């Protein structure tokens, strides 16, 4: 890569050959960069559609091909990672010392790429993101890809049990929580304590859907 490309990734013009030998994180970066470059070619500063020159049309085709192939590669990686992550329930039960399986325990053990993968699947769920505009969804996606804390917070707060528990906790001085809601709140508090180095007393994370 030329020296100037290291300083300004948005100026880098990728080709299909550039996808070889890349890590998942690098492929993720290429997805973001090519998407931004496609948008810059397609639209003007005020959102108007641009009339492309022959040179720009050629560049657009290459960008589209690279972007689509990078997406395919990243999705393949996500699918394979999911297969490798899965364990039979009997193994999960034994690994946790014979205790009831903790539905949120994996969030605290996930690697950075795994946390991003799972959070992106939550983002892909139209039920979770139907209220977001395209640019807002793109912004959340970038945050998930670049900030593992945001990715993990999506996983512990963006679920029905946590949302209903949160609504009860902020509206009722003596809320009655179901077992599932208590588990969801406990999962957030445990993650918060581990990630921020604070006690679990007080404070509740606003669910992503409500905060958007």
Whole-number Cα distances in Å, 37 to 67, 141, 166 = 10, 17, 40
Residue 5 lies in a domain: yes
What pLDDT does residue 195 have? 63
What pLDDT does residue 60 have? 95
Residue 137 lies in a domain: no
Average pLDDT of the chain, as a whole number = 76
Determine the Cα–Cα distance for residues 197 and 193; give it in Å rounded to an integer: 5
Residue 20 lies in a domain: yes
Residue 49 lies in a domain: yes
Read off the pLDDT of each residue in 14-28 and give the average, rounded to a whole number.
90
Please give the tally of structural domains in the chain.
1
pLDDT band of residue 41 (cuts 50, 70, 90) is very high
* 49: three-class secondary structure by DSSP: strand
For residues 72 and 109, the model is more confident at 72
Residue 145 lies in a domain: no
| pLDDT tens per residue across span 162-180 | 888 888 888 887 888 888 8
**Parent domain of 56:** 1-85
Contact between 77 and 30 (Cβ < 8 Å): no
| pLDDT tens per residue across span 4-13 | 444 444 467 8
Determine the Cα–Cα distance for residues 49 and 56; give it in Å rounded to an integer: 13
64: pLDDT strictly greater than 80: yes
Whole-number Cα distances in Å, 163 to 170, 178, 180 = 11, 12, 11
Q: Which residues contact 113 (CB under 8 A, 6 or more apart)?
A: 24, 25, 77, 81
Residue 102 lies in a domain: no
Length of the chain: 212
pLDDT band of residue 159 (cuts 50, 70, 90) is confident
Contact between 118 and 110 (Cβ < 8 Å): yes
Residue 201 lies in a domain: no
| pLDDT tens per residue across span 178-211 | 888 888 888 787 777 766 544 333 445 555 554 4
Q: Which residues contact 112 (CB under 8 A, 6 or more apart)?
A: 25, 148, 151
Residue 2 lies in a domain: yes
């Amino acid at each position: 890569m030329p020296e100037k490309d290291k300083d300004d990734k948005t100026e880098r013009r990728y080709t299909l050959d550039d996808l070889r030998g890349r890590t998942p994180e690098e492929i993720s970066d290429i997805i973001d960069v090519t998407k931004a470059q496609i948008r810059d070619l397609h639209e003007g500063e005020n959102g108007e559609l641009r009339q492309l020159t022959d040179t720009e049309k050629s560049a657009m085709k290459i960008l589209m091909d690279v972007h689509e192939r990078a997406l395919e590669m990243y999705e393949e990686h996500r699918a394979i990672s999911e297969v490798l992550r899965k364990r039979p329930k009997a193994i999960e039960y034994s690994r946790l010392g014979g205790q009831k399986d903790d539905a949120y325990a994996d969030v605290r053990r996930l690697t950075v790429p795994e946390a991003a993968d799972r959070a992106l699947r939550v983002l892909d769920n139209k039920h979770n993101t139907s209220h977001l505009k395209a640019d807002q969804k793109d912004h959340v996606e970038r945050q998930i890809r670049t900030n593992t804390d945001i990715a993990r917070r999506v996983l512990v707060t963006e679920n029905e049990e946590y949302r209903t528990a949160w609504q009860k906790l902020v509206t009722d001085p003596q809320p009655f929580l179901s077992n599932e809601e208590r588990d969801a709140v406990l999962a957030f508090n445990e993650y918060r304590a581990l990630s921020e180095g604070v006690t679990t007393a007080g404070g509740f994370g606003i669910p992503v859907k409500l905060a958007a």
